[in-house]
């Protein structure tokens, strides 16, 4: 399965809200740390190295 | 005169005057410069194969300081083939439980449960001087059986002259200088390799700007046989990381990563070392056990390698050829793989069983090994000492997650233990005509498994070997002068099946003298086997 770069999240606005809410009241350092933990958690869920590589490239 | 650069704990080969010293330069087939673990292992391997080996070392035994402590399974398997593995395992410490800390927090604990069907454990902890001593005892035993090995202590090589078909070596001794000649010379003279210098050769790579304080302490207090590793330890002034590891004789290895800007003199002051050690040893129980400082030292490290490990008639092996950071214990462990790779090839070429070109594959294969080791140890270093703000953010994110979720634990990198190289796709390896497991694909070294009452590796004695599992194969034979051993296992143990058959019903493996798999098939076919032997000897 290739990296999905088309809309895939139901209720995109709702998710976006949740993401920002998680950063609410965090200092810049804590936000950076949170982002890193989130990326690692998601990356592990995806697992597939090809997809992860494609995602790293897509985000560049 | 021969300068003394370090003290020896075990005097293994005291200086003795030999007739060579009063004669015109005599020619030796193989001269090995350096009697560290790698030089001694090559000498033992060559000598057991009947190839004369002369070792020159500028000291008379194993140096003080435990240096290497962690010896991996492949090293033990190689040592076992050389007849010295059991002594190492008997003396060594086997541990299974490790704990990882970050600051004040204990993140997680792991247990390396041993896998069934292996003679040797995944690794042992053993002070390097013992390791060298056991190899040397193997040399003495081989000598008693007539193996042509000679080790000359207090023989310092001072100059070298390379010719097309030999090397002229100048040696200094307590009785003054002499010269000798070598058909082949192997430089096992360590990280600072004087031979490399004399030949004006490169040694490229990264120097990591960090200082490590090592303290070996002896304590008889009841302390768990576990490996404890701290990222950003909480004890005052102990730097980026710290490690506690058990060795034989009630000795513990303690490592503090101090950073670059330090005052060496001050750090080596026993009072300062004790303050740190006290803090570490009491961190879990609140009490400082009684202990004695056995050995302390500060070292810096580098990840570097020579571009080529062969220069005409001169080979480089071990630390002289490559150096890695100590994380992952890849120094001596990879050097032992150099040793076994070079010894059989040189023996075959000297006996006329293989063309000289076979020797280039040493550089090819072990250069790949060095790259793999440097890659692994550089990654460990980058995890332990993040090089940018963001890499530190990720590193700490991994550590935080690791305390809660198992998925993050594989990212935690305090050194990846040395595992043997697989020579995937290298020219001297043949077909994979078996639908077999990947661990035993051509290029891999044989993993152990139970066979009858013993172990598979006991049957791989240093010749080319055909392993026939659940199928027919001819008895031992000779091909072009080369003896081929045959190991016939009609009904395999469960481990042998899992590791060598997988879904296949039967298999035939061709295995090199260094226990690496050349090719594998479902059936024995004489022509295919002969082709693979030729390929493996560089004749194809
Ligand atoms: C603190 C520390 C921890 C380590 N931990 C580990 C570990 O856990 N596991 C691991 O695998 N490795 C480890 N290593 C690395 C390991 O110690 C080396 O890789 C290993 O010693 C290399 O062996 P060698 O035979 O190539 O060289 P050396 O052991 O350096 O031997 C070279 C020999 O050559 C001799 N020599 C030098 N010049 C001359 C000359 N001109 N003439 C004659 N003789 C000469 C020297 O006296 C010496 O005997 C560690 C190293 C350090 C410093």
For the stretch B246-284, pLDDT in tens is: 999 999 999 999 888 888 899 999 999 999 999 998 888
Q: Give CA separation, B253 vs A13, B311, B344, B448, in Å.
A: 55, 38, 35, 30
Which DSSP helix (H) or strand (E) runs through B100? strand B97-102
What does the pLDDT average to over B530-536? 98
**Which candidate, B350, B485, B365, B486, places its Cα nearest to that of B429?**
B365
Is B407 in Cβ contact with A41 (below 8 Å)?
A: yes
The mean pLDDT value of chain A amounts to: 97
Q: Which residues contact B346 (CB under 8 A, 6 or more apart)?
A: B30, B46, B51, B184, B359
**3-state SS, one letter per residue, for B396-423:** HHHHHHHHHCHHHHHHCCCCCCCCCCCC
B194 lines ligand 1 (CB under 6 A): yes
What pLDDT shows up at residue A1? 77
Helix, strand, coil fractions of chain B, as percent rounded to 5: 30, 30, 40
Smallest CA–CA distance from A28 into chain B, residue: B393
**Cβ contact, residue pair A37, B393, below 8 Å:** no
Which residues of chain A neighbour B397 with C-beta distances below 8 Å? 33, 36-37, 40
**pLDDT above 90: percentage of residues in chain B:** 79
Distance B191 CA to ligand 1 centre (A): 7
CB within 8 Å: A36 and B397: yes
For residue B113, name the pLDDT band (cuts at 50, 70, 90). Answer: confident
Q: Which atom of ligand 1 is the closest one to the Cα of B332? A: 11
Nearest C-alpha neighbor of B184 from the set B66, B306, B345, B30: B30
Q: For domain B438-536, say whether CATH 3.40.30.120 is its number.
A: yes
Check: CATH 3.50.50.60 for B24-89+124-203+303-372? yes
User: With a 6 A CB cut-off, is B299 part of the ligand 1 pocket?
Assistant: yes
Distance from CA of B70 to the nearest CA of A (A): 31
Taking the CA of residue A25 and the nearest CA in chain B, the distance in Å comes to 19
Domain ranges of chain B: 24-89+124-203+303-372, 438-536
Higher pLDDT, B221 or B498: B498
Neighbours of B405 (CB within 10 A): 14
Query: Which residue did the predictor score with more confidence, A59 or B96?
Result: A59
SS3 call for B515: coil
Domain locations in chain A? 26-60
Ligand 1 atom at shortest distance from the alpha carbon of B189:
34
Binding site membership of B193 for ligand 1 (Cβ less than 6 Å): no
Report the complex ipTM: 0.97
Report d(CA B427, CA B424) in Å as an integer. 9
Are B396 and A40 a contacting pair at CB < 8 A? no
What 3-state DSSP class applies to B12?
coil
Cβ–Cβ gap B401/A41 under 8 Å: yes
| Contact residues on chain B for A40, CB-CB shorter than 8 A | 394, 397-398, 401, 408, 411
Q: Nearest-CA residue of chain A relative to B398?
A: A37
pLDDT digits (tens, 9 = 90+) for B89-99: 999 999 888 89
User: How many A from CA of B190 to the centre of ligand 1?
Assistant: 5
B400 touches chain A (CB under 8 A): yes
Which residues in chain A have Cβ-Cβ distances shorter than 8 Å to B407?
A: 41, 44
Q: Decide if B366 contacts B374 (C-beta within 8 A).
A: no
Q: Which of B398, B407, B412 should one mutate to test binding to chain A, selecting the residue with the greatest count of A CBs within 10 A?
A: B407
> pLDDT digit string (tens) for B144-203?
999 999 999 999 999 999 999 999 999 999 999 999 999 999 999 999 999 999 999 988
Length of chain B: 540
The three-class DSSP label of residue B223 is coil
DSSP code of residue B359 = G
- Cβ contacts (< 8 Å) between A37 and chain B: which residues? 397, 400-401
Give residue B262's pLDDT: 87
Query: Which residue, chain included where needed, has tokens 């076992």?
Result: B80
- Assign residue A25 a region: left if phi > 0, alpha if psi is -120 to 50, beta otherwise? left
């Amino acid at each position: 399965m290739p990296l999905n770069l088309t809309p895939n999240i139901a209720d995109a606005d709702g998710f976006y809200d949740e993401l920002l809410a998680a950063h609410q009241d965090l200092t810049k350092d804590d936000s950076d740390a949170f982002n890193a933990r989130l990326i690692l958690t998601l990356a592990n869920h995806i697992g597939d190295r090809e997809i992860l590589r494609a995602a790293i490239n897509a985000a560049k | 005169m021969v300068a003394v650069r370090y003290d020896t704990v075990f005097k293994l080969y005291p200086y003795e005057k030999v007739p060579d010293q009063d004669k015109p330069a005599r020619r030796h087939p193989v001269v090995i410069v350096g009697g560290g673990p790698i030089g001694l292992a090559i000498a033992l391997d060559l000598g057991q194969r009947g190839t004369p080996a002369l070792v020159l070392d500028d000291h008379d035994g194993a140096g003080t300081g435990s240096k290497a402590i962690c010896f991996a399974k492949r090293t033990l398997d190689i040592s076992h083939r050389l007849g010295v593995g059991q002594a190492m395992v008997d003396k060594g410490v086997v541990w299974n439980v490790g704990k990882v800390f970050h600051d004040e927090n204990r993140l997680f604990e792991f247990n390396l449960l041993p896998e069934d069907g292996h003679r040797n454990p995944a690794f042992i902890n053993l002070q390097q001087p013992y390791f060298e001593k056991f190899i040397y005892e193997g040399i003495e035993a081989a000598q008693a059986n007539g193996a042509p090995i000679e080790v000359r202590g207090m023989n310092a090589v001072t100059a070298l002259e390379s010719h097309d078909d030999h090397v002229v070596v100048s040696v200094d001794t307590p009785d003054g200088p002499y010269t000798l000649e070598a058909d082949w010379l192997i430089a096992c003279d360590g990280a600072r390799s004087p031979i490399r210098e004399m030949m004006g050769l490169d040694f490229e790579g990264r120097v990591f700007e960090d200082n490590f304080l090592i303290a070996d302490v002896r304590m008889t207090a009841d302390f768990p046989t576990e490996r404890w590793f701290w990222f950003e330890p909480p004890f005052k002034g102990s730097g980026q990381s710290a490690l506690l590891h058990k060795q034989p004789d009630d000795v513990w290895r303690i490592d503090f990563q101090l950073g670059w800007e330090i005052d060496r003199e001050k750090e080596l002051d026993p009072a300062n070392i004790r303050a740190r050690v006290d803090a570490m040893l009491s961190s879990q129980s609140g009490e400082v056990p009684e202990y004695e400082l056995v050995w302390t030292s500060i070292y810096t490290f580098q990840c570097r390698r020579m571009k080529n490990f062969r220069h005409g008639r001169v080979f480089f092996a071990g630390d002289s050829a490559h150096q890695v950071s100590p994380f992952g214990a890849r120094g001596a462990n990879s050097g032992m793989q150099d040793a076994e790779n070079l010894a059989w090839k040189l023996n075959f070429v000297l006996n006329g069983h293989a063309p000289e070109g076979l020797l280039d594959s040493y550089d090819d294969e072990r250069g790949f090994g060095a790259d793999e080791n440097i890659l692994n140890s550089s990654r460990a270093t980058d995890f332990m000492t993040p090089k940018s703000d963001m890499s530190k953010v990720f590193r700490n994110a991994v550590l935080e997650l690791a305390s809660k979720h198992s998925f993050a634990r594989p990212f935690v990198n305090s050194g990846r233990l040395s595992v043997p190289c697989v020579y995937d796709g290298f020219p001297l390896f043949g077909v994979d005509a078996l639908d077999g497991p990947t661990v035993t694909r051509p290029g891999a070294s044989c993993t152990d498994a139970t066979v009858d009452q013993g172990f598979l590796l006991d049957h791989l004695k240093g010749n080319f070997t055909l392993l026939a599992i659940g199928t027919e194969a001819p008895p031992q034979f000779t091909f072009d002068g080369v003896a081929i051993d045959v190991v016939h296992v009609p009904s395999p143990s469960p481990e042998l099946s899992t590791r060598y058959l997988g879904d296949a019903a039967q298999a035939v493996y061709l295995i090199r003298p260094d226990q690496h798999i050349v090719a594998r098939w479902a059936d024995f076919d004489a022509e295919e086997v002969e082709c693979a032997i030729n390929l493996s000897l560089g004749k194809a």
